[in-house]
């Protein structure tokens, strides 16, 4: 039997990396993107669904009796109803540890944007400010050294550990936050509130669950130093955007850099887009998306799917 697979949002990884999937002994249908109302139609007759951010909930899965395998081309599986999939006998596999280096690199790209102001100095040079300077240098945008500062990491899995490794290379101290609901700390962890209070930089790396929606809200932002920088490359739902904007506007936070928002792509009237702030930097969920990381992602997805196909062939 030849299995039929549909990749419902293949455009999210790019055409250039799809070769490992195309070489598998399956009938593969590629769709650049899929709207919610198109999901059922496109998965009819498919035994395999390949998705990145397309939602497959209980109602959808119940109407796909032929579906037997879901490949998630991401680490997070919050778009899949795992309970419903298990009840239907559908195997779900995600991909871990394909973008650790890429995400950690992006964390520091965001952080250095605010500490070194290369963009601002480039603009100064282009305006001719350096040429007019009576000195050999410009000091218009004070820079900060990371050495000696404390980075608090919330979520110490593979991504958090990769970020900590880079931070240590910069000479930073690492503080690993304990989960807020835990009354006792695991070895090497710091109580949640205390970890936020110590942070010069707070970097989020935990998965989004039903229990930690808006984990960082007005109360938690108030625990941070007004000189702290917040970075979120994890999931947009971890952070209350209204509370963040208020903290920036009231100078209760030095800066924030976000690679993720709660709704992606965001509506044009999203409050953080409608009210841009000079100390807020937003990138479009690209921390994971280096060419090398996307190659690893699809190679691992194809390898896992190939293993499943061989098991089914038995």
Question: Which residues belong to the active site?
Answer: 235, 264, 285
3-state SS, residue 76: coil
At 175, is the secondary structure helix, strand, or coil?
strand
Three-state DSSP string of 173-236: EEEEECCCCCCCCCCCEECHHHHHHHCCEEEECCCCCCCCCCCECHHHHHHCCCCCEEEECCCH
* Beta carbons of 95 and 302 less than 8 angstroms apart: no
Q: Starting at the earlier edge strand, list the strands of the sheet with 48-51.
A: 27-30, 4-7, 48-51, 69-72, 91-93
Q: How far is CA 295 from CA 18, 20, 38, 176, 292, in A?
A: 8, 9, 27, 31, 5
Distance (Å, whole) CA 144 – CA 124: 18
The two three-digit tokens of residue 196, written as one number: 């936020």
């Amino acid at each position: 039997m030849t299995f039929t697979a549909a990749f419902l949002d293949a455009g999210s990884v790019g055409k250039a990396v799809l070769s490992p999937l195309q070489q598998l002994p399956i009938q593969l249908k590629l769709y650049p993107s899929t709207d919610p109302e198109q999901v059922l139609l496109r998965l009819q007759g498919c035994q395999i669904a390949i998705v990145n951010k397309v939602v497959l909930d209980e109602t959808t899965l119940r109407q796909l009796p032929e579906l037997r395998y879901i490949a998630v081309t991401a680490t997070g599986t919050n778009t899949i109803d795992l309970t419903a999939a298990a009840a239907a006998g559908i195997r779900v596999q995600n991909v871990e540890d394909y973008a650790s280096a890429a995400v950690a690199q992006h964390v520091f790209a965001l952080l250095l944007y605010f500490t070194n102001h290369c963009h601002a100095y480039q603009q100064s040079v282009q305006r001719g400010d350096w040429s007019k300077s009576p000195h050999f240098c410009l000091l218009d945008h004070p820079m900060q050294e990371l050495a000696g500062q404390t980075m608090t990491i919330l979520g110490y899995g593979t991504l958090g550990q990769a970020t900590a490794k880079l931070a240590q290379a910069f000479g930073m101290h690492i503080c690993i936050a304990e989960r807020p609901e835990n009354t006792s700390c695991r070895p090497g962890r710091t109580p949640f509130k205390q970890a936020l209070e110590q942070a010069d930089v707070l970097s989020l790396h935990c998965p989004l669950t039903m229990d930690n929606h808006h984990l960082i809200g007005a109360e938690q932002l108030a625990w941070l130093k007004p000189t702290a920088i917040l970075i979120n490359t994890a999931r947009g739902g971890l952070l209350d955007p209204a509370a963040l904007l208020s903290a920036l506007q009231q100078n209760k936070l030095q800066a924030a850099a976000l690679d993720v928002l709660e709704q992606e792509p965001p509506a044009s009237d999203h409050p953080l887009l409608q009210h841009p702030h000079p100390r807020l930097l937003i990138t479009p969920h690209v921390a994971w998306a280096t060419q090398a990381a996307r190659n690893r992602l699809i190679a691992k997805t194809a390898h896992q799917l190939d293993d499943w196909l061989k098991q089914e062939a038995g």
